[in-house]
Amino acid sequence: MAQIEIESIGDGRYRVTVDESGSRSSHEVTVQSDDLQRLADDRSAVDLIEASFRFLLDREPKESIMKRFDLSVISRYFPEYPDRIGDYL
């Protein structure tokens, strides 16, 4: 299972490091307050990001995840994201 480390870097931005099978990938993710409220069910941004990365890793390798993105773009690629993210929280 992948290890996911999340660090706030300010202004709703987070550095996410995914360590899996001895290799790492690094990503910068932005979380908008309205997305946090709509998707996270009163959970923290860190909880939502971790859940979102687990969601993504179930669908693609870490190397395929964009290096920099806003959390809202996930649903463009995976339309089921808003309905399924609760399963990961």
**pLDDT tens for each residue of 59-80:** 999 999 999 999 999 999 999 9
Place of tokens 């399924």: 84
At residue 22, the pLDDT reads: 87
Q: How many distinct structural domains can be found in the chain?
A: 1
71 DSSP 8-state letter = G
User: What b-and-e string marks burial along 35-72, b requiring 16 or more CB atoms within 10 Å of the CB?
Assistant: bbeebbeeeebbbbbbbbbbbbbeeeebeebeeeeebb
At residue 58, the pLDDT reads: 97
* Intervals of the chain under pLDDT 70: none
6 neighbors 44 (Cβ within 8 angstroms): no
